[in-house]
């Protein structure tokens, strides 16, 4: 079995797969290293042969997590590293090492699945879009605040915006103009995300006509589903790229 980790800015997504056929044994989302160790250890008949990690955290934080994993499960954790070119995709950044590894791996996974031009929209703590041309040229992308950041900036920098998580969830039953603070903020931020998605689709169309594949991933992907009906929702897109960048056998 292989332990796969996607360490984002707010959450760690994990899953355990069988080495032979990539069948999923278990998985989840946690908000701390300790919670990760607890959840993975709780899997019955756990028998890890390896571990691969993609992280957008600092090198120190990532190394600390690798040490914890070695200690808890006795496996070496292989960390995905930046590359100028991999699996037919050429990194489009002036300094390829600066491109976020989650974006790079999602782009690798997307080009592999699309076998042609693709647009990746990844909605997590940050909202990201990346463009890969028909020949595998990564054209670059965009980074904006995602839903959690937009919401918390409004809460932090205003006196009268305050509400709890339960009312936030209820507010999203519709996107009609809000008649309460929670509706106005939550729906407003969702419309921002949808606007982000639509403008990226427009750019992709300007570049490639109708000949491209759109991928939607990240925890908040469902919020823009309607704005991008043609998109393939692939929640584990980063893991697809991770397996390509860190083969373990
Ligand atoms: N089970 C879940 N646990 C936590 N967040 C979830 C879950 N399901 C959906 N979400 C949503 O996903 C968002 C976080 O997305 P994601 O996990 O992709 O972020 P991240 O990987 O930490 O961020 P980034 O990719 O920008 O570094 C939150 O806004 C949250 O509302
Ligand atoms: C943009 C984030 C924070 C999204 O997780 C991550 O991809 C990252 O830290 N990137 C480095 C900056 C860049 O991609 O240009
Ligand atoms: K992520």
102 is catalytic: yes
5 vs 3: CA distance, rounded Å: 7
What stretch of H or E contains 240? Answer: helix 237-245
Predicted confidence (pLDDT) per residue in 129-151, tens digit: 999 999 999 999 999 999 999 99
- Check whether 125 is labelled as a binding-site residue: yes
Kindly state the tokens that stand for 164.
């709890």
- Catalytic one among 21, 33, 95, 102? 102
Question: How far is it, in rounded angstroms, from Cα 53 to Cα 65?
Answer: 10
Is the CB of residue 9 below 6 angstroms from any atom belonging to ligand 2?
A: yes
pLDDT digits (tens, 9 = 90+) for 145-172: 999 999 999 999 999 999 999 999 999 9
This model of the complex carries an ipTM of 0.94
List, for residues 220-234, the tens digit of each pLDDT value: 999 999 999 999 999
In the chain the domains, ranked by start, together with CATH numbers, are 2-79 (3.30.420.40), 116-237 (3.30.420.40)
Ligand 1 centroid, distance to 220 Cα (angstroms): 6
Confidence of residue 249 (pLDDT cuts 50, 70, 90): confident
């Amino acid at each position: 079995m292989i332990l796969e980790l996607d360490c984002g800015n707010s959450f760690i997504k994990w899953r355990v797969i069988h080495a032979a056929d990539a069948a999923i044994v278990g998985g989840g989302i946690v908000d701390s290293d300790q919670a990760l160790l607890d959840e993975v250890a709780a899997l019955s008949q756990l028998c890890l042969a390896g571990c691969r990690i993609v992280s957008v955290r600092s090198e120190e934080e990532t190394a600390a997590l690798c040490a914890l994993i070695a200690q808890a499960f006795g496996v070496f954790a292989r960390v995905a590293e930046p590359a100028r070119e991999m699996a037919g995709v050429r990194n489009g950044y002036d300094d390829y090492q600066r491109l976020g590894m989650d974006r790079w791996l999602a782009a690798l996974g997307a080009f592999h699945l699309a076998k042609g031009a693709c647009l990746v929209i990844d909605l997590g703590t940050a909202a990201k879009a990346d463009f890969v041309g028909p020949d595998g040229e990564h054209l670059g992308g965009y980074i904006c605040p995602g839903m959690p950041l937009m919401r918390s900036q409004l809460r932090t920098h205003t006196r009268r915006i305050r509400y709890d998580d339960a009312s936030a969830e209820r507010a999203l039953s519709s996107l009609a103009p809000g008649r309460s603070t929670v509706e106005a903020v939550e729906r407003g931020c969702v419309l921002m995300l949808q606007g982000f998605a639509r403008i990226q689709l427009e750019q992709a169309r300007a570049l490639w006509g109708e000949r491209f594949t759109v991928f939607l991933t990240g925890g908040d992907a469902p919020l823009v589903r309607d704005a991008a009906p043609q998109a393939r929702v692939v929640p584990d897109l980063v893991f697809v790229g991770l397996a390509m960048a860190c083969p373990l056998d």
